[in-house]
Amino acid sequence: MSSVAASTRPGGRSARVLNAIYTAVGELVGEGTERITFSLIAERAGVNPTTLYRRWDDVDALLEEVAVAALTREGDPIPDTGALETDLTEWALIITEDITRPHRTRYLRAMVAARDEIVSSCSVMERRREQAAEMVRRASGRGQEAPTVGQILDHIVAPLYHHVVFALPVDEDYARLLVRDVLLMVR
């Protein structure tokens, strides 16, 4: 979550404005609008375009912020089934279901299109990293061997996101296959 969003969390007018802006962006992206501008967003959100110019350097920065916020909901449950294989499988299925929804896929593509310079960290991947680390910690606590967090990100999360943004087929079987593959790395 960006510092802008965080600083307005307590509520009040600025939170309502930000909410309206996020909703407007979500709608425009969801409708498949090709060329989203500050004016379009301001009109839809019922705010003054100046509000947007003051907060964000450009439209891409705003789009990316919304995409990140939409894709990394706090409080996603982390599967806790008692075994790493089933934890990872459930988790991979949750991610698959999430990112293959048409709206989510559009967000992800918008995020890719908005990226330019190498990012020092990607909020989506950081959230996935925390979730993976929690499952690995639990596995270690049970004395179970586990792949590294990096391996889980590179070999489960990355291929799922890759397939989704490139519009290659992704289904539950594919998610299960990736989990089986990553577990082969520790046997």
**Site residues (CB under 8 A) for a copy of itself?**
34-35, 109, 111-113, 115-119, 122, 124-125, 150-151, 154-155, 158-159, 161-163, 165-169, 177-178, 181, 184-185
Token pair belonging to 57: 């350097």
Q: Which is nearer to a copy of itself, 46 or 150 (CB)?
A: 150
Q: Which is nearer to a copy of itself, 6 or 118 (CB)?
A: 118
What is the closest distance, in whole angstroms, from the C-beta atom of residue 46 to a copy of itself in the complex? 26
Q: What DSSP string runs through 24-72?
A: HHHHHHHTT-SS--HHHHHHHHTS-HHHHHHH-SSHHHHHHHHHHHHHS
Q: Which is nearer to a copy of itself, 42 or 157 (CB)?
A: 157
Q: Which is nearer to a copy of itself, 1 or 113 (CB)?
A: 113
CB atoms within 10 A of CB 5: 16
What is the closest distance, in whole angstroms, from the C-beta atom of residue 158 to a copy of itself in the complex? 4
Task: Look at residues 2, 131, 10 and name the one whose alpha carbon lies nearest to residue 67.
Answer: 2
Q: Which is nearer to a copy of itself, 17 or 29 (CB)?
A: 29
What is the closest distance, in whole angstroms, from the C-beta atom of residue 1 to a copy of itself in the complex? 18
What is the closest distance, in whole angstroms, from the C-beta atom of residue 74 to a copy of itself in the complex? 21
What is the closest distance, in whole angstroms, from the C-beta atom of residue 118 to a copy of itself in the complex? 5
What is the closest distance, in whole angstroms, from the C-beta atom of residue 111 to a copy of itself in the complex? 7
Q: What DSSP string runs through 117-174?
A: SPPS--HHHHHHHHHHHHHHHHHHHTT-----HHHHIIIIIHHHHHHHHTT----HHH
d(CA 88, CA 179): 7
Q: Which is nearer to a copy of itself, 55 or 106 (CB)?
A: 106
Buried b (16+ CB within 10 A) or exposed e, 141-167: eeeeebbebebbbebbbebbbebbeee
